[in-house]
Amino acid sequence: MTRVCITGGNGFLGSAVVARLLEDPQISHVLSLDIREPAPARRLDGVSYALADVCSPGVGRLLAEHRIETVVHLAAIVNPGKDTTREQEFAVDVTGSRNVLAACIDAGVKHVVISSSGAAYGYHPDNPAWLRENDALRGNDEFAYSHHKRLVEEELARFRQEHPELKQTIFRIGTILGERVRNQITALFDAPRLLRVAGSESPFVFAWDTDVADAMVRAVVTGRSGIFNVAGDGALTVREIAGLLGRRTLTVPAPVLGAALWLGHRLKLTVHGPEQLRFLRYRPVLDNTALKEDFGFTPTYTSREAFLAFRAARDAAEQSGPAPTARARTAIN
């Protein structure tokens, strides 16, 4: 029987993990930490809810008070608001993670499950065609989320050396899709013509949200430690995605797109600058062999099936009304 705490527990992914943990007979106690109260309709009987910022010293007190054995750390800023600063993102993503890890040590937590990202590998032209867990982490400094995930993993490596008593399970997750997911990446698929950089296939790997939640619950229940890429089998290029949507692509030469992004950012027409060109051209493509063979978990959805399910849910939502937006402090990559 395991006592579990989830940071970011009221977020999009966090609430799914909380619900699945609650259903497992091997879990005796579930504590959900978040900076906001859950909506009344989303509160679950049997879950202890507490307000706490991951940067606050109160995290350690709560872990000790609830006698937590495993922490699932999901709190991060993935979709920052217009007024969110880089400093605020760093405080939550990096300083918050350091604080949670230190709190785990102080409270005697035995196991931590971390939502990292394929973005930790970075967006580089010389990335391997399929990235494995032993490939270098080169999260780009110019992308806050990518940079911060790299820094957190460097901190995790230090903790593995200094505190081997705290087991770690790190999931480097691909682009998460789900029935209710709407974010900066899915917005790319809403355009009448999908943007494609000339000479770049820009493949995406997708993970269905319930698959990600199930993998995390498996890590909690089995105590299996290690580092694992999380994505469905296969990948989809921008052209293939456009075909599944019944649309065409708009192919733009890289120098032209870079210049347009520079001008748009300078005129404050877009928050994205020319660095966004790397994001569009050199997406990290995750090999999930270790997840299946070493961790023992095969995602239910392939990348293609996840996208088709997302498309079907989006089409249904458009017929019935606007879909809710995924909250900022969750784990969508």
pLDDT score recorded for residue 332: 32
For residue 142, pLDDT beyond 80: yes
Lowest-confidence segment of 88-92, 222-226, 255-259, 266-270 by average pLDDT: 266-270
For residue 294, pLDDT beyond 70: yes
For residue 211, pLDDT beyond 90: yes
Compute, in degrees rounded to 10, the torsion defined by CA atoms 46, 26, 19, 186: 160
Lowest-confidence segment of 62-76, 113-127, 311-325 by average pLDDT: 311-325
For residue 265, pLDDT beyond 90: no
Domains of the chain: 2-178+207-233+284-302 (3.40.50.720)
pLDDT score recorded for residue 318: 81
pTM: 0.93
User: pLDDT tier at 322 (50, 70, 90 boundaries)?
Assistant: low
pLDDT score recorded for residue 326: 44
Output 328 or 24, whichever has higher pLDDT: 24
